[in-house]
Structure 1
Amino acid sequence: MATIHDVAKLAKVSVTTVSRVLNNRGYISEATRAKVYKTMEELNYQPNEIARALLRKQSNVIGLIVPSVSHPFFSELANYVENYAYELGYKMLLCNSELDPLKEKDYIEMLKRNRVDGIIMGSHTLQVEEYKNLSSPIVTIDRQISGEIPFISSDNFAGGDLAAKLLVDKGCKKIAHICGNLELRLLANQRTEAFRAVMEEHGIEHIIIQTDMNVFDQVQYEQIINQLFKNHPDIDGLFATSDIIAAFAVKECAAAGKRIPKDVRIIGYDDVKAARWITPELTTIKQPISEIGKLAVDLIVKQMNEEFFETENIIPVSLIERATT
């Protein structure tokens, strides 16, 4: 395997010159730069990225930790983060924590060893101390873990309010809300707070059901909704805290012989692409996933450059009405 010394020898320049070309430091003529690059290509030279990172104290790598890469929201988020980071000259390391605190800790240690320039935390575990003690720039998504670390969230309260009011306006008399486990203390819990406030304001009979701590375990969704319809066959409105849960509700309505939207009206949250793949197409609260991903990268870069940044970043949501209401 070729080394930097081999490149310098064949290109007839110093090792320092090759290093400057690799790290874009100091004045290098275009002719010399072209000669070094041509030589690296001839030798199939692969720069040692870790060594380069140590030299310039920057890896051009951003870590993204998500609880479940198979969940449509987080897979779409990862796609937008990677694309935008790449446009700015950064690579992305994707870590799938599966809500396992030990696995998440291992990933944090790996990211530290690789000297990533920053970490975007999309995880939903109860453990936050590992993040508070990091020296790298951090951005959290849908979770506030300290007053100094910037976070990004859709306007969850407004989203819950929009969903609840639409079901009330449509004439629903008994409305269920399926949410994540509120013990996780995520900003998404505000969707539930808004739903409860609207129901109480209008005197609507309502039911709130939480998932277990593994909020992304899709096996439980079917069981929860099946039991809900058995215990409350007169449910005529349902607001789910994600489009995936709402999609399971559509499936369970079909199994129970309930017509949508005549018998049951359903609203999801996120507006992932899959919301339009099901039949009937899903009414949902849209949070702009692309904007969240772009802002997360921008906040990392601003911290790296010691530029001013907002700690609290609340993104507006909108109601997208489709066939389920």
Structure 2
Amino acid sequence: MATIKDVALHAGVTVTTVSRVLNNRGYISEKTRQKVYESMRALNYQPNELARALYKKQSKVVGVVVPSLLHPYFSACVHYLEKYAARQGYKIMVCNSKRERKSEIEYIEMLKSNKVVGIVLCTRTGELADILDDSLPVVTLERSISDKIPAIMCDNYQGGVLAARCLLDRGRTGIAVFPGQPKVQLPGELRVTGFLDTCRQAGVEPIVVATDESQFAARDYRGTIRAALCAYPEIDGVFATSDVMAAQVIQECAKVGRSIPQDVSLVGFDDVDIASLTTPPLTTIHQPLEQMCEYAVDGILRKLRGETVPVKTILPVSRVDRESV
């Protein structure tokens, strides 16, 4: 593997000159610059990006911390964050905390040490504001941790309203909602609030069937769903607060002989890929995740330039009608 010394020797210049070309520092004639580039190509020289980042005290990398890479929602987050970072000439470094606060803290410190330009946090554990400071741009997705750190989220409350209206407009009265119970308060809880408020305004009291954080981690809600369907035979409408959960509602309804949408109308939330792959395809609340990720990357780069970024950005949701209602 070629080194910077090999490039200098091949080009007939000093190592300092090659370094200046690589870091775009100081005056270098165009003729010399081209000689260095030609030598780099001839020797297939690959600059040490980490070393350059440490030298320049900054990289071209955005750090991303997610609680799970197996969950479809966070897999989609990583996909879109990489897409929009690449458009701006940046790469991403992904850290999977597995929902552990200790891991989140360790990864944040590691990202700082690697001189990332900023961090996008998609976390679900305790507060992290105490380990973050103004020296590094940070943006959160679907989480608000400080009145100084920009948060990008969807209109969760309106999503709950849209889900409720969808079921109520079809005459459903035995309505159940499956909310999660995360360890900390998250904006996603507002989708349940919006749903309950709308149902109650219509004179319908929903059946609330709580799920817990361990079920989110395992992505397995089937036992709770089956128990609810058996305990409440009057259920004729369900709002599942994620598409992963909604897909399992379809499975469990089939097992207990309940047909969707004839016996039970079902609405999910997120509109990740799984929503169009179930049988029947899932009516769901579309969260503008791609746009949220674009805003997150843009927020990091704007903060890097010293620009003002809104502390809270809430993007609208919409209902996607398929065949489960």
Alpha-carbon distance in structure 2 between the residues aligned to 1:230 and 1:208: 14
SS at match of 1:210: coil
Alpha-carbon distance in structure 1 between the residues aligned to 2:29 and 2:73: 47
Alpha-carbon distance in structure 1 between the residues aligned to 2:123 and 2:172: 35
Alpha-carbon distance in structure 2 between the residues aligned to 1:174 and 1:205: 8
Alpha-carbon distance in structure 2 between the residues aligned to 1:274 and 1:214: 21
CA-to-partner distance for each residue in 1:249-275, whole Å, 9 max, x for gaps? 011111111111111000001111221
Alpha-carbon distance in structure 2 between the residues aligned to 1:189 and 1:86: 32
CA-to-partner distance for each residue in 1:134-164, whole Å, 9 max, x for gaps? 7311000111111110000000000011001
CA-to-partner distance for each residue in 1:34-73, whole Å, 9 max, x for gaps? 3212212333433222331133332000011111111111
1:152 corresponds to: 152
CA-to-partner distance for each residue in 1:211-240, whole Å, 9 max, x for gaps? 212352345411110111111111011111
Alpha-carbon distance in structure 1 between the residues aligned to 2:236 and 2:130: 44
Alpha-carbon distance in structure 2 between the residues aligned to 1:263 and 1:115: 55
Gaps of 5+ in 1: none
SS at match of 1:205: coil
Range with bigger deviation, 246-255 or 198-207: 198-207
1:188 corresponds to: 188
> What displacement does 1:208 show?
1.7
**Cα distance, 1:10–1:314 mapped onto 2, change above 3 Å:** same
Q: Percent identity?
A: 47
1:123 corresponds to: 123
Residue pair 1:105, 1:130 contacting (<8 A) in 2 also: no
1:73 corresponds to: 73
Letter in 2 for 1:34: Q
Residue pair 1:58, 1:115 contacting (<8 A) in 2 also: yes
2:238 corresponds to: 238
Range with bigger deviation, 305-314 or 178-187: 178-187
> What displacement does 1:30 show?
3.8
Alpha-carbon distance in structure 1 between the residues aligned to 2:223 and 2:14: 68
- TM-score of the two chains, using structure 1 as the length reference: 0.95
- TM-score of the two chains, using structure 2 as the length reference: 0.95
CA RMSD across the alignment:
1.7
Residue pair 2:54, 2:114 contacting (<8 A) in 1 also: no
Range with bigger deviation, 160-169 or 201-210: 201-210
Alpha-carbon distance in structure 1 between the residues aligned to 2:54 and 2:132: 23
Alpha-carbon distance in structure 1 between the residues aligned to 2:35 and 2:216: 52
Residue pair 1:164, 1:199 contacting (<8 A) in 2 also: yes
SS at match of 2:269: strand
Moved over 6 A (4+): none
1:252 corresponds to: 252
Alpha-carbon distance in structure 2 between the residues aligned to 1:256 and 1:134: 54
> What displacement does 1:2 show?
3.6
SS at match of 2:70: coil
> What displacement does 1:25 show?
3.2
2:34 corresponds to: 34
